[in-house]
Amino acid sequence: MGTLARYEQLIANGELREDPDQRRAAARLDRLQKELEAEKPGGLLAQFFASKPARAEGVYMVGGVGRGKSMLMDLFHESLSIAEKRRVHFHAFMQEVHAEMREARKTHAGDPIPPVAAKLADRVRVLAFDEMVVTNSADAMIMSRLFTQLIMEQGVTIVTTSNRAPSELYKDGLNREHFLPFIDLIEAELDVLTLDGPTDYRLDRIGGLNSWYSPLGDEATARVREVFFRLTDFDPEDAENVPSGELAVGSKRTMHVPKSLKGVAVFSFKRLCHDARGAPDYLAIAREYHTVIIVGIPQMGPENRNEAARFVTLIDALYEHRVKLFATAATKPEALYQSGDGSFEFERTVSRLNEMQSDEYMALGHGSDGASD
């Protein structure tokens, strides 16, 4: 069954609502699916004389969070009946690229990118990425050359989702001029589709659930677990295999993310605020994830002034980037930190925590200006 037929079946079954942008994207992916499935490998002579592999035009789906991009990607990948396909989270792919480049430098004296691209493209005609976003200069510096090799030389078709238009990728990043050819490549070689309908389907999935759960305990933990599985469509029966992630903080270090999937991250308060962290860590989280779940927020006193100060910085970053926050905590925001250095300033954090629970805040798009990116 094709991508469009499966999409229409979901609507007929009442699992999805009709959405014009989604339908257009499903139809485009359906055409790509048919094109890929219709291609027949040439004979030996055809392969010998071919200058490079045939390649179908890829697709770049862009839109705010909750617009159904990942759902459509899943339908396309599951429907595509060829073996030479691969679906991977973009960050995981780039980590693999860097690891392969380190190995290639050991055996190749020249540019490691062509042999790495050839290895990545081996037995792969379609690379499907979820959440293409560029947050560090190490990725930005190689992406133009890497994807030129994959697309133009290896004939790989790219299908990807992103919350950012190609021109907005790596915006204001260090040495961005080296990244601009990648933007030109994407706009020239991929069909850019916008999904910007009025409905945030992500919010539908969490309807009826609160965002702040106290006191701490099994019930609170169960509630935020439910939030995670609703937002990510991950099978709760497979909870032990929820992927973790590595988040780039600047160009020199990374932060481990215990649970990371489809723009949703799960952290413990201890990992975020007990350990020595600062604004760069929190800004990296806020830029990368549209939803953050924090478990185990304690009630703090004068002896916890450092943790309280870090928590203030964390919430400022999440609030300014309109990140959706779900939390388990010992008590209500008003009672989290009532005495100690900075307790007066903490009142602004309490106000923000309360605002972040409102329907109005939840409806805002992810991004520093409150608009969907």
Query: What pLDDT is attached to residue 76?
Result: 96
Say if pTM beats, i.e. exceeds, 0.85.
no
Distance in angstroms (rounded) separating the CA atoms of residues 187 and 192: 7
Give the closest residue to 71 by CA, choosing from 22, 112, 105.
Answer: 22
Query: What pLDDT is attached to residue 367?
Result: 74
Distance in angstroms (rounded) separating the CA atoms of residues 162 and 316: 25
Distance in angstroms (rounded) separating the CA atoms of residues 78 and 125: 15
pLDDT tens-digit series, residues 140-174: 999 999 999 999 999 999 999 987 899 989 887 88
Q: Please report the beta strands in 168-287, taking only residues with DSSP state E, as ranges in sequence order.
A: 190-194, 212-213, 245-249, 253-257, 259-261, 264-268
Name the helix (H) or strand (E) containing 119. helix 113-121
**Angle made by CA atoms 9, 11, 13, in degrees to the nearest 5:** 70
Q: Which residues of the chain have pLDDT under 50?
A: 43-46, 51-53, 370-373
Query: What domains lie within the chain, and their CATH numbers?
Result: 3-194 (3.40.50.300), 203-362 (3.40.50)
- Backbone φ and ψ of 254, nearest 5°: -130, 165
Query: What pLDDT is attached to residue 251?
Result: 66
Cβ burial, residue 181 (10 Å; 0-12/13-18/19+):
middle
Cα torsion through 176, 181, 186, 192, rounded to 10: 60
Distance in angstroms (rounded) separating the CA atoms of residues 281 and 212: 23
Query: What pLDDT is attached to residue 263?
Result: 84
